[in-house]
Amino acid sequence: MLIAGCSGGDAGGSGAGTPSSTAPPPPKPVTLTLALNDGAADVSPGLPVIATAADGKLTEVKLTNADGKVVEGKLNAEGTQWNNIEPLGYSKAYKLTATATGEDGKTQTKTSSFTTVKPRTLTYVSTNPMDGTTIGVGQPLAFYFDEPVADKVAAESMLEITTEPKVEGAFYWFNKKEVHWRPKEFWAAGTKITMHVKVYGKHVGDGIYGQEDRIIKTTVGDAVIHEADGQTHQVVTKVNGQVVRTMPTSMGKPADATPVGTYVLMEKHSHMIMDSTTYGLALENGGYRTPVDWAYRMSNSGIFFHGAPWSIGDQGRRNVSHGCLNLSPENAKWVFDNSKQGDVVIVRNSGGPALEPWDGFGDWQVPWETWVKGNR
């Protein structure tokens, strides 16, 4: 009351009295969170194990397996989050212990024991192309799971493609084990490609988990495109858009007309036996078993570039082969020496049916508007 009475003489409020103030909030206790509840089971090894501190900092975090071995981890720069950087194993037991100190100076410790999932089986993912290769502009990126994939969307998310320069592309499934990624148009020469297979510890459905992560790097070489015409009986080869060679050829005779479409070169053999019985045509039914040189495979069904000295008189004039593109030995060796996996062969006017998309790398036979839907 006395203080209130003394303030009455200062009508202007000059500040002679005591100003009001708000006391600072008390320091907060830490909130320590472990991402996995104690007793958690069937944890995917591909998911990170995380400990987080709010209103404080982590002071010690240890993740150990059943044998007491410490799993390597990493603390962020702020000291507020820890996660493992060493992968966990399948069907293993682990214990996470974390201690944190709050703004109030008090510590808190939490533990979580958990077990990882036991897969029904594992799947390994192989690729084409392989690491360190140089490919042609038509080469799709093929991923082969050795177990059927039930969750194709999840599987796609585990396959990351990065390119320099950036390229528009999409996945397309040919069956439950095989998915390809290709750009909308042929690759540009010089493109650098990295394929990240990030499947370890992750579920692709039906109890199947990824076996191993992989990184595959490849580079696109010169743009080599062979244009084969069944009416002119010529193969015109262009490198980076410039014609470098024109070669007489003989394609499949009318009864075995070479399928038309865009092929991608697959593998080559300096010497091999062309054997019709491998695709069901018996020798007694008009089949053959013929040794050839300088053969470059264009399809799984047995279409090759190859040397055919017996048909030189027909090359450039008429189609007499069982479907392959016959060349002189000299021209076949030139193709053998100057082509690479992924180079393109475009067959026109052969009188044959359309190349099937699943026959070798017939990916370019699928229209882009169909391809981007994924065929899941």
User: Which residues does the annotation mark as catalytic?
Assistant: 306, 324
DSSP string computed for 188-214: PTT-EEEEEE--BT-B-STTEEE---E
Asked whether 357 and 296 are in contact (CB, 8 A), the reply is no
Distances (CA, A) of 293 to 115, 133, 228, 326: 58, 24, 20, 11
224-263: b or e for each residue (b if 16 or more CB lie within 10 Å)?
A: bbbbbbbeebebbbebeeeeeeebbbbbbbeebbbbbbbb
Q: In sequence order, what are the residues at sequence separation of 6 or more whose Cβ sits closer than 8 angstroms to the Cβ of residue 276? A: 282, 283, 287, 288, 289, 302, 322
CA–CA gap between residue 361 and residue 376 (Å, rounded): 18
50-80: b or e for each residue (b if 16 or more CB lie within 10 Å)?
A: bbbbeebebbebebeeeeeeebebebeeeeb
Asked if omega into 259 is within 30° of 0 (cis), the reply is: no
CA–CA gap between residue 157 and residue 149 (Å, rounded): 13
- Other C-beta atoms closer than 10 Å to the C-beta of 44 total 16
Q: Could you say which DSSP state residue 107 is in?
A: E
Coil vs helix vs strand at 46: coil
Q: How many CA atoms lie within 13 Å of 271's alpha carbon, on the beta-carbon side? A: 1
DSSP string computed for 143-168: EEESS--S-HHHHHHTEEEEEES---
Angle, vertex CA 10, rays to CA 6 and CA 12, nearest 5: 150
Q: Which two tokens stand for residue 175?
A: 């069956």
